[in-house]
Amino acid sequence: MDDLEFNELRNRIVIGVLVAIVFSIPILIFVIKSFHIDTSSVLRKLKKKEDMLIYLKDDSCTKQCDMIENIFKDKKISYFTIDIEHYTDYDELLKRLDIEERVIKVPSIIYIKKGQMVANMMDINQEDNLISFIDFYKLDNLNK
């Protein structure tokens, strides 16, 4: 292989790598920002001492999560969903709520009133208990 062929091959490789980088960076920025927007809105509401309902789940949650989400939908409850395996500020959220990670069992809901945790329900598996919790704290009146 002479120098001309080598230079041509090297230039093609460099151009290919640059094109890959140019297309990858905007996609990465979009993904990072999409997670960060949700994160900042929950932390912002905490900082502003607003009321909200936080719903914690993970990838293993299926039947229970479907039940919870259907109840929230039927009762028209506003809530923030946090997937604990993908939420970038999960540790910060737990710290602000003064919750130790080892106590979290998904699926869980956390009721925040005036920026403080008022109540939580961990490892939700019975529809009646969830509905009683919602009715007791009047969570169907929350607005995002």
pLDDT (tens digit, 9 = 90+) per residue, 71-127? 999 999 999 999 998 888 888 899 999 998 888 899 999 999 999 999 999 989 999
Using alpha carbons, list the distances in angstroms from residue 126 to 51, 60, 110, 121, 129.
25, 17, 16, 11, 6
Residue 64 pLDDT > 90: yes
pLDDT value of position 29:
81
Q: Superfamily assignment of 3-141 in CATH? A: Glutaredoxin (3.40.30.10)
pLDDT value of position 38:
47
Residue 36 pLDDT > 60: no
Mean pLDDT of 9-22: 92
Q: With the CA atoms of 119, 123, 125 and 127 taken in that order, what torsion angle do they form, in degrees rounded to the nearest 10?
A: 10
Distance (Å, rounded) from C-alpha 86 to C-alpha 110? Answer: 18
Residue 144 pLDDT > 60: no
Distance (Å, rounded) from C-alpha 102 to C-alpha 96? Answer: 15
Does a cis peptide bond (omega within 30 degrees of 0) precede residue 26?
no
pLDDT value of position 88:
82
pLDDT value of position 110:
96
63 within 8 A of 82, measured Cβ to Cβ: no
45 within 8 A of 104, measured Cβ to Cβ: no
DSSP-assigned states of every residue in 103-124: G--SSEEEEEETTEEEEEE-S-
66 within 8 A of 17, measured Cβ to Cβ: no
Chain-centroid distance, C-alpha 128: 26
Please report which confidence band the pLDDT of residue 35 belongs to, taking 50, 70 and 90 as the band edges. Answer: low
Mean pLDDT of 44-59: 92
pLDDT value of position 143:
62
pLDDT value of position 1:
60
CA nearest to 77, candidates 3, 142, 9: 142
Q: What pTM was computed for the model?
A: 0.70
pLDDT value of position 6:
87
